[in-house]
Structure 1
């Protein structure tokens, strides 16, 4: 979103308001061994490489927005990763590790400016074999701004239109007719109506008595005075031109600014949904007959009664079942959680990646659902970050594989609480099997980071009661770290145990778990010397709820081990835990010597397993001639 006076625009609108600054490759490099100046006084592009990730998806220059419009090209098997950039741009990948820009200099494959989208192109999704068997994009075409859930909706501002791929996806040609969904449902006073996500699902076909293979789309938004919603549409009588879509009702709606649970496991549903994705999973990955899941962005406010503009957004997931209400199919959640606890991590977009794709054939993977998230670099445009000096803003996070996860735990009150899990089965031996959303960094980049490491170090662990540096720290700010921490008791609420990263005499960032509120915290309060000299560099702490359950062990029960995977890639830090938790953020460390890694322990002791660090990661853009 972008602040415009007192109005905050949708996430997808940021690109329309933020300029791109010409590159100045001759800019003098700053001195990273001295205290930083006010970075806004530096030349354009002088900070181009300072925090730029090398293993993540982002344009050659300028701002990235929502990930969207992904698909596997049926003619090549290449996976197309899309994102908002001067319209929508993207790249292809055969391995989810390295990427090739569709167009030189990350130029877009679709731009605003047609009869249906005079102002902007917002998110959309692709029917792989659409019109005449060609990838066909259903996207939100925008004719009026501002759009925001706190103001009255302008009729005609958001419509849904079609475009067809040409030149292998290098361009999407808009169809020469009006929008195929020309307005929100009649008589609905909507807060938003955007981000169509197309899908096929046999259980929808059966429940709705549709023909096998019918296409559906959900469109994200909400109703003023009621709450957020996902609106469901169906391809009418399998129209091969996809020009007619039938409204089937509000597939999912929640009360305004309500929550799955006040305990904080899943944030708030807010006042307006954005970027909804709908798909089915089993324990192996994507399965059209599997359990229904949704990922969605929620816009919310601290004020529960009278909504006010705020920069509060949640990237959530939910799973559940169906019921009919007054003849309309409706979704009923059975568990929900955060897809990422980072407050700048948002707008997740995924797609079914079939086993026949090049990436899956190369790695031997079965059908998967792969999701990318946007990590906004200026907190949705609300921070006056030194953008001209950096000449790029934001990144996508590493792709994630989503599936149904299971945890075998002790049958006690911790497991029965309403949270980001549900009880799947109860056993006679005093244990339960819990189900949740499993999310893991995609196997290909994770393997590539290890196989292509420029240096690998191993740090022994043990019982540790005070913070201490590793015997050897990374030589760069690009690495993968894996570790485990075991706790003997959950009663010590003063205990904080984890790791320090990007640390040195002048800066440090601590990542730790604490039982006091069952949270994993990224403490950025001393992470950036530049934050003290330059406005727009946010160093607020990040945190998210993660329960470590009581699990069966040889001596009865023990506390579940905390297994961490941490990726540091320039300024991007991703923290993944126990295959069901993620928190991603920016760490703007300045000094050259802020590279140390160490154990961080306060208020007690914990047992650390062996820590491994793989340095270097992989250059995701080998064909960009030094722009990444």
Structure 2
């Protein structure tokens, strides 16, 4: 297997062992450093009594890990003896002192990873650092929330998120409050996230208000085929306020488990976003659009706000390899590249490739005709990791192109699509004879992007199902261009389209398969195709 697998070099990855959710991303203004924690089992390729690793950065690109094998927070007290689960960051001490605070789910009874998704005894705890994040001490008041709200039969209660939410203040008639979420669900009712009022002068005081998503039953799908399944239980829920001009919308980003099976196989997890406004006496989100943060394997999102930008991290799940292969390799999982979230706004839209604009569940159409949706793109700073310009094609006259690329590279593609275009395909990790390849294809008439992994290798013991998600182009006075960015890094593949579609996955290919090839069927024209080498970040 060694010749088929490579560690990523510009995606964030633990020094060794198993890693999953990004935890507590944030920025310390006193030191000018970004902090990022992650779920970590340093001495095993498997999830075991999870702890937190910790890394810092000055630029969100280059990261220094605290330790190669020692967690920053581990399961070492009675109240978290079974695990230190996912959490969030706050840039002061609990009472405003010069310190850093992280909140986490403390687990004191062995988790049971079986349906209906009850994980054991979970509460809320915090730890602080008075030395800029070098050392962390658990708070003497832990756990600050001992268990789920009284009287609720929950499917889960974990993954705290904390922040100011001015729109919630306005809806409740309050001001200057902080708000906390814990994710989960209620048996017999559906997925929920539990809302808390948090005292900004004392972060140990969380007062339960009520659950959000109260109008949604189990396995509801507010965006239809353009969105994700809310399943039975929510995880890692964040709230975000985004604006474009005079339009402001609240966005809730969450993971769900227990939904309908997905074409990609594996556990039926969905990385969902919903957009709308806060309404009602007991405030809830009135959803006007919904979609997927990622149509592939990226999950467990965590966000933070820095200098007016909302930045998102996600865990790139690795479940296509057998336990034996993972044991031989010695590491499992990494994070996707950081993404910038924004409210995308389009004026003058007259239609899409095929669907009616009003039928696209990930779009909200305003009375003015303006269309808004959640926008997402790789963090622009990633261009600073570009190395040599491997290849470039401008106004490509034909329908075919091929070059050799590095194992770590990025590809930018702009194509003029027409109503006569049948398929636009980019083949990556292609062997010289073309027999080995992974194909990223846009089918305009079907309004779908597919990543076909069937020919990525010849191993029968590696899962190679096709990943796919719905995507369409907008019509203005003319049809917008297809603008695609593809990130390749070791086994990682991330695909972005027109700043509103993303699909991340894993491909395992022979080291000698480094070709990048382009082709289209039907009438289309390549405006730009650029391939850049990417430099290591860790």
Which residue does the alignment assign to 2:391?
A: 457
Give structure 2 stretches of 5+ with no counterpart.
42-50
How far does residue 464 in structure 1 lie from its aligned partner after superposition? 4.5
1:177 to 115, 132, 141: 141
Which residue does the alignment assign to 2:46?
A: none
Taking a change above 3 Å as real, the CA distance of residues 420 and 573 of structure 1, as seen in their structure-2 partners, is: same
How far does residue 419 in structure 1 lie from its aligned partner after superposition? 1.3
How far does residue 463 in structure 1 lie from its aligned partner after superposition? 5.6
Which residue does the alignment assign to 1:315?
A: 271
1:575 aligns with 2:500: no
CA distance in 2, matches of 1:394, 1:385: 15
Which structure shows the bigger proportion of residues in strand conformation? 2
Matches within 5 A, 1:119-198: 119-131=82-94, 132-148=97-113, 150-151=115-116, 153=118, 157-198=121-162
Look up the SS of the partner of 1:183 in the other structure: coil
Which residue does the alignment assign to 2:44?
A: none
Look up the SS of the partner of 2:68 in the other structure: helix
Q: Would you say how many aligned residue pairs link Structure 1 and Structure 2? A: 519
The normalised TM-score by structure 1 is: 0.78
How far does residue 595 in structure 1 lie from its aligned partner after superposition? 1.0
Matches within 5 A, 1:433-582: 433-445=370-382, 447-450=383-386, 453-462=387-396, 464-465=398-399, 468-470=400-402, 472-474=403-405, 476-489=406-419, 495-504=422-431, 505=433, 506-529=435-458, 531-532=459-460, 535=461, 537-552=462-477, 558-582=478-502
Query: What's the Cα RMSD here?
Result: 2.4
Residues 410-452 of structure 1: per-residue CA shift (max 9 Å, x gap)? 33462221411111353xxxxx32111111111111x2133xx
Which residue does the alignment assign to 1:88?
A: 52
The normalised TM-score by structure 2 is: 0.91
Which residue does the alignment assign to 2:525?
A: 607
Look up the SS of the partner of 1:116 in the other structure: helix
Look up the SS of the partner of 1:130 in the other structure: coil
Taking a change above 3 Å as real, the CA distance of residues 152 and 298 of structure 1, as seen in their structure-2 partners, is: closer
1:419 aligns with 2:356: no
Which residue does the alignment assign to 1:232?
A: 195
State whether residues 276 and 285 of structure 2, in contact with CA within 8 Å, keep that contact through their aligned partners in structure 1. Answer: yes
Look up the SS of the partner of 2:361 in the other structure: coil
State whether residues 280 and 290 of structure 1, in contact with CA within 8 Å, keep that contact through their aligned partners in structure 2. Answer: yes
Residues 583-611 of structure 1: per-residue CA shift (max 9 Å, x gap)? 1111101141x111111334x34222221
How far does residue 152 in structure 1 lie from its aligned partner after superposition? 7.6
Look up the SS of the partner of 2:226 in the other structure: coil
Taking a change above 3 Å as real, the CA distance of residues 517 and 300 of structure 1, as seen in their structure-2 partners, is: farther
Which residue does the alignment assign to 1:249?
A: 210
Residues 471-525 of structure 1: per-residue CA shift (max 9 Å, x gap)? x322x211111111222216x6xx2212111101341111110134311111111
Look up the SS of the partner of 1:510 in the other structure: strand
Give structure 1 stretches of 5+ with no counterpart.
1-38, 40-45, 355-366, 427-431, 553-557, 622-628
How far does residue 399 in structure 1 lie from its aligned partner after superposition? 0.5
State whether residues 149 and 192 of structure 1, in contact with CA within 8 Å, keep that contact through their aligned partners in structure 2. Answer: no
State whether residues 497 and 605 of structure 1, in contact with CA within 8 Å, keep that contact through their aligned partners in structure 2. Answer: no
Residues 32-71 of structure 1: per-residue CA shift (max 9 Å, x gap)? xxxxxxx3xxxxxx56x94211101011111111011111
